[in-house]
Structures are given as structure tokens and as C-alpha cells.
């Protein structure tokens, strides 16, 4: 499997240099920007935006049952349409903006199901109002209020859009604590964002009610607040910023849930200069449940990148370590180790469950930008291990080979 990844990289490296033909030039020139006129009395901007993400994963490893039986497995997802998002963005009356990006595919083939194209749900859909412009506030750099479905930026990894992500998938902890709902949509909420100089503060409240579009407020609520500080004015680096975030939840057991934890706090930083960058997030929180899937959890992830050839080849190396106080306080990300344990695949219940209290991972990957930043090919290897210490059980110990293609406009 590792030889397959290396062969793919070698073939990519041997391919002739792309000279940005007509298609790539069109993509880079924002083909979805259909109208832009800051002096128009009604509509200042109208654009159509989209992203297409495909990826292949091959997982090999071992999973141990609670009684100590070891099972080896070898699983391929056969290729997945990971994201197919498309929708408009409109700025109007100089102070309003509407953004709606819908998910147009549901790919269940990795789980033995079907791949269905067509409208599935809103990924994001919101209206914002520029209060600084509306009220002519000179004392602040920016002040915005918004309502709708929003992808929250709670960790460093989620501050990076999937369009610009430097690894094929985000870490287990990032996926574990991010608010979301079972359908492929973000939670509905209202938020306020203020910026002055190097400081930015964002905060809001969201509904935990599940919906494919704008949700009602029938169940509990979650709240979040973020302080972001730009350090580039004080440090001689091209990139220097940090943030502290807090998220909490007041749902009852009878309410629909949008997050795995009662509360979580994160602190993250990004630093970079010339060809290198170093990014990391520290996470701590309390799980929502009170049984063996409850308790406190925490961990840290670090990501280092290096441009081997600026805007062409980028190396990424990432590590994560996480722990919880209860035996099943953590869970593997759904892609793709847990899918390998599904009855339709390797039929390994312990792996499909994917729960434990100690998690470790190492990732190394290479990105080839066919046309920076809109079109890229990615390859990576990730080793992961999930343990359940009270049973001395290795829930998962394996390696995933990733191949991915990313396009956005």
C-alpha cells in the first residue's frame, strides 16, 4: 500500500510542468464572478462559488476485540466524492451579504451504499449586515452581525477552509468537538463579529435542532466566543496569529444534540516565514454524556509545512495526541478506519465503534499545486492508534494511504 502512494507521487513528479492553459487561467480568474460594481445602487457583487473534492483511501491495520482477539484488515473506499458544493454569494444595498452553498452529493459507496447526486442540504447559508457601514462607526475597523448556517472556526484546522487544507483530512480531535448535525449541514445561529486593530472578537448562539436547512429553535442551544489576535506587527514573521476560543452547551437529555461535549476550550497559533509554517491547537473539554463515554478530554495537534517549490510542491507533517478520563471518551474520525469496520466491509464491531481513551496519530503528505491555489493533487500517509486502557485493548492500529484532488472557484 505504501508503495502505491510512493508510485503515485513519482508519476506526478515525472509529469510535464503545467503551463496554465485556458482552463486553469479561467479557474484562476474567478469565473463565477458574474457582476462586480461597488457603485451600483442595488447589487454590488454577484458570484457563483463551488468546490469539487475527490479522494481515495486505503486502510490496513489491526483491531482488537474486548476479549483480546486481534483481527487484521485491508480496506479500500474505492474512491469518494468527498465534497461537491455550489451556490451564490450576493452583496447588496452596500451593507448586506447573502451566501448560500449547498451540498450536491451524498456518497455512501465507502459504506457499501450508493452515490447520489442532487441537492442534499445547505452546507452554509446566511445573511450578514455590515453595522460599521450602516451606522457609520468610525471607532471600529469592522462590526458585523449575521444569521444562518455557519461553519464555526473553533480550531486552527477549521480556521483553514477545506479549499486550502494542507492535509487530506483534519485530526480526530477537531472532528470530535466541532458543532454539527447528523445531516451534512452546519448548525443555525446568530453571531456578532467586532474588529479593531490586531484584535477580533466573535461570539454567538446556535440551535441544536437538526435540519438540512435553517433550523428551528425547538431544543437546546450552544454558545461560543472567540478572541483572535494578529501578532505580525510585533514579530518579524510573515504569519503570526493566535486565538482563544470557548464553546458550551445547555441541552437537556431530551433535546436534539449538535455537539459531543458540554463545553470545550481551545487555544491555537500560526507562525510562518518564507517557506515554512508551524501551526498547532491545544484542546480541553468535557463530554456531554456521564457514563463511560463522558468525562474530560484533551489533546494537542501540531502541523509543520515546508514549500519544496513555492506555490508548486508543499510538504506537510502533522502529529496529534489525545486522552480522556473515561474509557470511551474519544472516538475515531468517521473517515475511514471506522468505515472499514462496518458490517458491509470488514465487519469488526470494535473498529466500527471506534471508541477509546488514548489516541495517537502521525501524518506526512505532499501536495502538488497544478495551479495555485485553485487546483491541487494530494497524497499522504497517516498512522493512527486508538486504545482503551481499562481493557488493555487496542481498538485500532493502522495506516491510511490518501490520494485526493481538490478544485475550487
Residues 337-364 have pLDDT tens digits of 999 999 999 999 999 999 999 999 999 9
Q: What would the DSSP string read from start to end of 56-115?
A: EEEEEEEEE-TTS-EEEEEEE---EEEEEEEEEEEEETTTEEEEEEEEEEEE-GGGT--E
The reply to whether 335 falls in a domain is: yes
pLDDT at 31: 82
Which segment of 14-18, 224-228, 248-252, 387-391 scores lowest on mean pLDDT? Answer: 14-18
- What does the pLDDT read at residue 21? 63
Predicted local confidence at residue 29, as pLDDT: 75
Would 223 be classed as within a structural domain?
yes
Once rounded to an integer, what is the mean pLDDT over residues 365-383? 97
Task: Determine the structural domain holding residue 286 and report its residue range.
Answer: 2-11+50-86+157-408
pLDDT of residue 182: 67
Asked whether residue 322 is domain-assigned, the answer is: yes
- Run of H or E residues at 10: helix 2-14
How high is the pLDDT of residue 105? 96
> Which pLDDT does position 146 carry in this prediction?
98
Q: Is the pLDDT of residue 365 over 80?
A: yes
Distance CA 118, CA 342 (A): 26
Predicted confidence (pLDDT) per residue in 223-282, tens digit: 999 999 999 988 999 999 999 999 999 998 889 999 899 999 999 999 999 999 999 999
Q: Considering the domain boundaries, does residue 269 fall inside one?
A: yes
Output the CA torsion sign for 113, 114, 119, 122. positive
Instruction: Give the whole-number percent of the chain exceeding pLDDT 70.
Output: 94
pLDDT digits (tens, 9 = 90+) for 32-41: 899 999 999 9
Residue 95 included in any domain: no
H/E/C letters for each residue in 162-211? CCCCCCCCCCHHHHHHCCCCCCCCCCEEEEEEEEECCEEEEEEEEECCCC
Please state, rounded to an integer, the average pLDDT across all residues of the chain. Answer: 92
Q: Is the pLDDT of residue 3 over 70?
A: no
Burial string for 36-74 (b: 16+ CB within 10 Å, else e) reads eeeeeeeebbbbebbbbbbbbbbbbbbbbeeeeeeeebe
Domain membership flag for residue 126 = no
pLDDT of res. 10: 42
Nearest to 354 by CA among 395, 382, 384: 395
CATH classification of the domain holding 349: 2.40.160.10
Please determine, for residue 134, whether its predicted confidence score (pLDDT) is greater than 60. yes
Place of cell 452553498: 101
Q: Torsion-angle region of residue 42: left (phi > 0), alpha (psi -120 to 50) or beta?
A: alpha
Q: Report DSSP letters for 117-141, one per residue.
A: EEEEEEEEEEEEEEHHHHHT-SS-S
Residue the block writes with cell 477509546: 356
Cell representation of residue 345: 466491509
pLDDT for the residue numbered 2: 42
The pTM of the full predicted model, rounded to 2 decimals, is 0.90
**For residue 213, is it within any domain?**
yes
12: confidence class by pLDDT, cuts 50, 70, 90: very low
Strand 115-130 to strand 96-107: parallel, antiparallel, or no bridges (unpaired)?
Answer: antiparallel
- Domains in the chain, number: 1
With a cut of 60, say whether residue 11 has pLDDT above it.
no
On whether residue 111 sits in a domain, the answer given is no
Amino acid at each position: 500500500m505504501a508503495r502505491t502512494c510512493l508510485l503515485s507521487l513519482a508519476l506526478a513528479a515525472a509529469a510535464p510542468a503545467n503551463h496554465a492553459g485556458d482552463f486553469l487561467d479561467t479557474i484562476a480568474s474567478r469565473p463565477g464572478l458574474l457582476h462586480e460594481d461597488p457603485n451600483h445602487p442595488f447589487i454590488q457583487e454577484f458570484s457563483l462559488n463551488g468546490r469539487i473534492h475527490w479522494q481515495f483511501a486505503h486502510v490496513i491495520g489491526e483491531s482488537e476485540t474486548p476479549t483480546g482477539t486481534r483481527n487484521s484488515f485491508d480496506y479500500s473506499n474505492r474512491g469518494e466524492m468527498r465534497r461537491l458544493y455550489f451556490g451564490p454569494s450576493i452583496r447588496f444595498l452596500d451593507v448586506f451579504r447573502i451566501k448560500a452553498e449547498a451540498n450536491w452529493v451524498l456518497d455512501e459507496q465507502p459504506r457499501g451504499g450508493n452515490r447520489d447526486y442532487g441537492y442534499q442540504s445547505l452546507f452554509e447559508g446566511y445573511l450578514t449586515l455590515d453595522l460599521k457601514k450602516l451606522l457609520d462607526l468610525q471607532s471600529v475597523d469592522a462590526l458585523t452581525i449575521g444569521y444562518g448556517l455557519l461553519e464555526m472556526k473553533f480550531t486552527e484546522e477549521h480556521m483553514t477552509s477545506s479549499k486550502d487544507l494542507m492535509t487530506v483530512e483534519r485530526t480526530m480531535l477537531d472532528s470530535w468537538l466541532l458543532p454539527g448535525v447528523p445531516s451534512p449541514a452546519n448548525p443555525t445561529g446568530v453571531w456578532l463579529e467586532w474588529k479593531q486593530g490586531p484584535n477580533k472578537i466573535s461570539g454567538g448562539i446556535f440551535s441544536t435542532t437538526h435540519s438540512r436547512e435553517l433550523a428551528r429553535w425547538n431544543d437546546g442551544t450552544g454558545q461560543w466566543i472567540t478572541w483572535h489576535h494578529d501578532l505580525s506587527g510585533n514579530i518579524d514573521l510573515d504569519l503570526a496569529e493566535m486565538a482563544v476560543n470557548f464553546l458550551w452547551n445547555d441541552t437537556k437529555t431530551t433535546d436534539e444534540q449538535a455537539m459531543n461535549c458540554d463545553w470545550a476550550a481551545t487555544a491555537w497559533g500560526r507562525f510562518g516565514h518564507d517557506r515554512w509554517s508551524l501551526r498547532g491547537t491545544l484542546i480541553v473539554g468535557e463530554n456531554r454524556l456521564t457514563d463511560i463515554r463522558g468525562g474530560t478530554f484533551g489533546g494537542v495537534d501540531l502541523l509543520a509545512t515546508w514549500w519544496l517549490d513555492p506555490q508548486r510542491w508543499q510538504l506537510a507533517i502533522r502529529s496529534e495526541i489525545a486522552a480522556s478520563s473515561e474509557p470511551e471518551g474519544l472516538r475515531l474520525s468517521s473517515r475511514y478506519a471506522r468505515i472499514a469496520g462496518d458490517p458491509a466491509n470488514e465487519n469488526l464491531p470494535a473498529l466500527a465503534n471506534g471508541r477509546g481513551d488514548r489516541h495517537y496519530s502521525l501524518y506526512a503528505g505532499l501536495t502538488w499545486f497544478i495551479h495555485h491555489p485553485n487546483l491541487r493533487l494530494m497524497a499522504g500517509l497517516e498512522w493512527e492508534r486508538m486504545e482503551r486502557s481499562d481493557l488493555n485493548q487496542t481498538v485500532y492500529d493502522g495506516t491510511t494511504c490518501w490520494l485526493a484532488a481538490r478544485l475550487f472557484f
